Amino acid sequence: MRCLVGFGQDRLLCCQSALWPLQQGASAAMRLLVKARNFQQRPLFVQLWFLPLWVMLGAAKLAIRIVPFSAMAPRLGRAVPPIAPDKVGSPQSRERAVRIAEALRVTARMTPWTSDCFPKALAGVALLRLYGLPYVLTFGVQDGNEGLAAHCWLVSGSTAICGLRNAHRFSAIASFVHGEG
């Protein structure tokens, strides 16, 4: 049985299509509720750093567009030839690095702009420095079919903060270290 709703004398419209905008709004509201519930289940560290990291990711994205790399490089750490990160660290520093990586990952997924490897690395560097954790930030290039591609990854001790998953496809060209790294 089909439910019809009249609009004027000549036009009839199925109530299901009339309710479609309401259903879309309801499903968007449900998605938002699910995200809020999932966010609530995150560790307190992630919740507390969400808004500051969101702003930091936006500022990093803007800085990448307007600040020359030569002006940015000295703030990234001590420039060294490409090196492997130091895999040592205390359990406390490892736990903090894991929390920073999770907070970056969660926040980057929620930005309306693309928060890829470089903005995440810049925000990660800021947090790692704030907590006094050592890190190695590495830049790499790949010569592919579509031309040259660049990538960066950030590691603190044995913890991948961002970008390490795709690092194997790139040739490391430079590293920046801070702390023991």
* CA dist., res. 121 & res. 105, Å (int): 11
Residue whose C-alpha is closest to residue 46's, from 100, 112, 116: 100
pLDDT value for 5: 47
pLDDT digits (tens, 9 = 90+) for 10-38: 444 444 454 445 455 567 778 778 877 88
E-state strands within the chain: 4-7, 11-14, 78-80, 135-144, 147-156, 159-162, 171-178
Enumerate the domain spans of the chain.
1-41, 44-178
Number of C-beta neighbours around residue 99 at 10 A: 19
pLDDT value for 23: 54
Sheet holding 159-162, edge to edge: 78-80, 171-178, 135-144, 147-156, 159-162
pLDDT digits (tens, 9 = 90+) for 81-134: 888 777 767 788 899 999 999 999 999 998 999 999 999 999 999 999 999 999
pLDDT value for 34: 81
Mean pLDDT, range 146-167, rounded to an integer: 91
